[in-house]
Structure 1
Amino acid sequence: MADTKPGAAVIPAPGQPRPSRHEDVYFSASDGLRLHAADYGRHDPATRGRLPVVCLPGLTRNTRDFHDLALILSRDDKAPRRVVSFDYRGRGRSGWDKDPSRYTIIVEAEDVLSGMAALGLEHAIFIGTSRGGLIMHVLAAMRPAVMTAGVLNDIGPVIEGAGLAQIKAYLSRTPRPKTWEEAAQILAGAHSKSFPALTDADWADFARAIYVEKAGKLVPDYDPALLDGLKGVDLNTPLPTLWPQFEGLGTMPLMALRGEHSTLLSDQTLTEMKTRVPLLQTVTIPGHGHAPILHLSGIPQILRDFFASVDKQRRH
């Protein structure tokens, strides 16, 4: 059962804008850990009857990555949708696990299912960024019926070792900022070559999604023990692939987004994905790396068009 932070959502009067706020929802994992989700449009009658959208973030990321996209989708004039994004255990507003060995994709997939049950979501369109897309691969084998359609954001069944090495190096070596301005500058310095499309304002927003202020200091918004799992990864040997699970995802409407400068999802893998699942829709996002920021560069309209095609297929 879920509990919500009161007063976060408002039902609009006819002709008024959709709600600009969301509900912070808390629920229990199967092991009792308290987990968090952000729920947009839950009480808006205009979202009823449409497939909701479930958003799954990357390795160390949180629900704030999807906030702007969720506002766009839940307040859409023509087809507003309920949008739910999840903080995995050890991230954002979810509790930290006392046993870091449980920071795994399988456990996190189970947590997503617990959250969907608590929120009354039987099935949804899924958007998975990076690790979130890997969780979708696991759900394809574990509980495929919960996914009516899916969007893989810069992730596929093959993870490039070079891209994972970059993520590992960034997470372990990035200096800690003292101010929000410095945080934006650090992020731009580390990623601007991969994300030339971003403006100074975008980097400032990016910082607010990644860092949180605790005891007067800016720190990444995740349990540091989460990175223990990366220490044992041998990047000199090929990483395991997930082709059977990907082909399981291919039984539903599926889209893959790739950042133009991504080092985690290669052009070769994207081509092979299209070969194995011919109905896969693929879009390369110019000016973005790993992973495209979903409320920028026209991506919301790409997603809305895909969702509309899913709705049309369901009606027929």
Structure 2
Amino acid sequence: MLQPCLDHVNCPHPEGQHRMAYWSWGDPLAANVVVCVHGLTRQGRDFDRLARALVQRSTEPLRVVCPDVAGRGQSDWLPVGALYQVPQYASDMLALLGQLHTAAPISQLDWVGTSMGGLIGMVVSGQPGLPLPAAVRRLVLNDVGPAISWAAVQKMQQYAGRYGRYADLAEAAAAMRALSVGFGPVPDDVWLDMSSHMVRDLPEGGVTLHYDPAIGEPVRALTAEAAQAGEALLWSVYDQIQAQVLLIRGQDSDLLLPSTALAMTGRGPRARLVEWAGIGHAPTLTAPEQIEVLADFLLK
């Protein structure tokens, strides 16, 4: 079965630099690149099934690159919790794209972003003048937009960065599943495989989650007033996006409200909206029918 290669890129931050890990699928010399970026507490291996399907279905050479955003998975942890915010993440993605472009020139760039990864994608796509190797051509926003409901933020404030020790992978997977009911119906074997990349072994035995607890600090520091100011800024960024946009919404999502999704179809890049029943925040993009929608959009 097709498997990814692990690589790293050095990224600057205000106190030095850190290494960000990324998983590469397909042809390492392909000029066509799809970048897939995960949500707040997740990591790049969430996209294994989507990445494998895109590479196998593409009629042209294709690279699919799935980073572990700083503080997650195989990437370094940042020295200060306050750095875990979208501006730093976007800067890291520019460093990643620069390294990829140096190794093999990029002529076509697409982006898939789930939740936080979608916010990063909007920032990268919607700011003219950024040093991108190529403008983002097609952008998938998975259950996220410029406006995020305050109730969803409050929920994230309760769980982000707060986890403990588990006896084994099965116990950790069950705990993560209890927090992830919005992901919808995911087969047990798929969930266990996804969870296997979310944990690390402890020296004293057992496992814990594979991300820096400090990623929750900026989320808990966020106020309703600051969130509202950030929303206005993100709408202005969204309105400048030139890429074709596919907006995925879990029909039961408490983060991307119906009114926001509708507004996104009528302004800026005028996203094409697809809603999936029986799912909240956020679709895992692992089901065959979900992958089919994204493959059709990205590869046609």
Query: What's the TM-score, normalizing by structure 1?
Result: 0.82
1:275 aligns with 2:266: yes
Aligned structure 1 segments of 4 or more residues deviating by more than 6 angstroms: none
Contact 1:260 1:284 in 2 (8 A): yes
Q: Report Cα offsets for 1:48-78 as digits up to 9, x if no partner.
A: 45x2100111122211111221111112264
Q: In the alignment, which residue of structure 2 is the partner of 1:149?
A: 138
Contact 1:57 1:132 in 2 (8 A): yes
Q: Structure 2 CA distance, aligned partners of 1:134 and 1:25? A: 24
Unaligned runs of 5+ in 2: none
Letter in 1 for 2:198: I
Seen in structure 2, the aligned counterparts of structure 1 residues 169 and 25 have a Cα distance that, compared at 3 Å, is same
Letter in 2 for 1:26: H
Q: How big is the shift at 1:237? A: 7.3
SS of equivalent residue, structure 2 residue 148: coil
User: Could you tell me which of 104, 116, 119 is aligned with 1:134?
Assistant: 119
Report sequence identity in percent: 29
Q: In the alignment, which residue of structure 2 is the partner of 1:218?
A: 207
Q: How big is the shift at 1:226? A: 1.5
Q: In the alignment, which residue of structure 2 is the partner of 1:158?
A: 147
Seen in structure 2, the aligned counterparts of structure 1 residues 103 and 293 have a Cα distance that, compared at 3 Å, is same
Seen in structure 2, the aligned counterparts of structure 1 residues 34 and 131 have a Cα distance that, compared at 3 Å, is same
SS of equivalent residue, structure 1 residue 262: coil
Q: Structure 1 CA distance, aligned partners of 2:82 and 2:184? A: 37
Contact 2:183 2:282 in 1 (8 A): no
Q: In the alignment, which residue of structure 1 is the partner of 2:10?
A: 28
Q: Structure 2 CA distance, aligned partners of 1:125 and 1:89? A: 21
Q: How big is the shift at 1:104? A: 1.8
Q: In the alignment, which residue of structure 2 is the partner of 1:170?
A: 159
Q: Structure 2 CA distance, aligned partners of 1:237 and 1:118? A: 34
SS of equivalent residue, structure 1 residue 151: strand
Return the structure number with greater relative CO, CA threshold 8 A, min gap 6: 2
Q: In the alignment, which residue of structure 2 is the partner of 1:259?
A: 250
Contact 1:195 1:287 in 2 (8 A): no
Q: In the alignment, which residue of structure 2 is the partner of 1:204?
A: 192
SS of equivalent residue, structure 2 residue 196: helix
Q: How big is the shift at 1:115? A: 0.8
Query: What's the TM-score, normalizing by structure 2?
Result: 0.86
The range that moved more, 127-136 or 94-103, is 94-103
Q: Structure 1 CA distance, aligned partners of 2:177 and 2:69? A: 26
SS of equivalent residue, structure 1 residue 133: helix
Q: Report Cα offsets for 1:120-159 as digits up to 9, x if no partner.
A: 2645100111111111222121627541210001110101
Seen in structure 2, the aligned counterparts of structure 1 residues 147 and 190 have a Cα distance that, compared at 3 Å, is same
Q: Structure 1 CA distance, aligned partners of 2:136 and 2:284? A: 22
CA RMSD of the aligned region, Å? Answer: 2.3
Q: How big is the shift at 1:282? A: 1.0
Q: Report Cα offsets for 1:85-117 as digits up to 9, x if no partner.
A: 111221111111112222221111011110111
Seen in structure 2, the aligned counterparts of structure 1 residues 212 and 285 have a Cα distance that, compared at 3 Å, is farther
Contact 1:73 1:80 in 2 (8 A): no
Q: For this pair of structures, how many residues does the alignment match?
A: 285
Q: In the alignment, which residue of structure 1 is the partner of 2:235?
A: 243
Unaligned runs of 5+ in 1: 1-18, 310-316
SS of equivalent residue, structure 1 residue 203: helix
